Amino acid sequence: MTALNTNKLLLVREDLPRLGINLSPSTLLRLEADGKFPKRVRIGERSVAWLASEIHAHIEALAAKREAA
């Protein structure tokens, strides 16, 4: 397995579950609106994605919060 390019755009349904993020689209929208999940980038008229670097930073922040508790 190769290292992830941190500038790669992640597609909602294909990539997020592989990273352990198994949230419904409505939950993702709510978390984004609350500032608790990285915001999407529009990559087409009906397509959105997240920057890998932001998703990885989000996961690391969750892990750090867990370790601090």
Segment 5-32, tens digit of pLDDT:
556 777 766 888 998 999 998 999 999 9
Flag whether pLDDT at 69 surpasses 70. yes
Q: For the whole model, what pTM was predicted?
A: 0.78
Residue 32 inside a domain? The answer is yes
Residue 60 has pLDDT above 90, yes or no: yes
Residue 22: inside a domain? yes
Residue 15 in any domain: the answer is yes
Task: Looking at the chain, list the stretches that DSSP marks H as alpha helix, in order from N- to C-terminal side.
Answer: 12-15, 25-33, 52-68
- Looking at every residue in the chain, the average pLDDT score rounds to 86
State residue 9's pLDDT score. 72
Question: Residue for token digits 């790669």?
Answer: 8
Is there a domain that residue 23 lies in? Answer: yes
At 61 the pLDDT is 95
On whether residue 3 sits in a domain, the answer given is: no
- What are 49's strand-pairing partners? 11, 41
| Domain-embedded: residue 25 | yes
The domain in which residue 40 lies consists of 9-68
Assigned domain for 18 exists: yes
Specify the length of the chain in residues.
69
